[in-house]
Amino acid sequence: MIKWATRSIYEEAKPQTDVILRRTPPVAAGHPDYQILRIGQEGETLALLPRYQAFQDYSLWLALNGADFQEIAGNRGEIALSLQAPAAWRAPGGSRLRLEQAILTQPG
C-alpha cells in the first residue's frame, strides 16, 4: 500500500541523471552508461550518468580524466556529501566541514 501511495504522488526514479561537464574524456568502452548528449559551442558537454552508487564510480572516473563538473541534475551550487575517513583527515581547501562525528566502534 505504501508503494502504491508513493507512486500516486511521485514518478518512478529515473536510472540516470544529467550533468554538464567541461574538459570531458571521450566515451570509453569500460563506461557504457556514460552517454554524451550534446557538446556546446563553448566546449561544455551535456551527458547522462547512472545514479546512486554507479554515479560515484563514474564521477570519480571523469574527475580522474580531467572533467570539471559544472552542473549535476540541474544544481550549480554547493553539493553535500558524506564520507568515512581517518581521524587525521582534513577537508581540502575551499570545502566546508558541516559535521564531524567519531565512530565509537572504530577508533582512529
Q: What is the mean pLDDT of residues 66-90?
A: 88
Q: What is the mean pLDDT of residues 88-94?
A: 85
Its pTM stands at: 0.69
Q: 6-11 long-range contacts, Cβ below 8 Å, gap at least 24?
A: none
Tell me which residue has cell 544544481. Answer: 75
The 10 Å CB-count burial string (b at 16+, else e) for 92-101 is eeeeeeeeee
pLDDT tens for 11-67 read: 777 889 999 999 888 777 789 999 999 999 988 999 999 999 999 999 999 999 999
Rounded (5°) CA angle 58-23-55: 15
In the chain, where the domains are located: 13-72
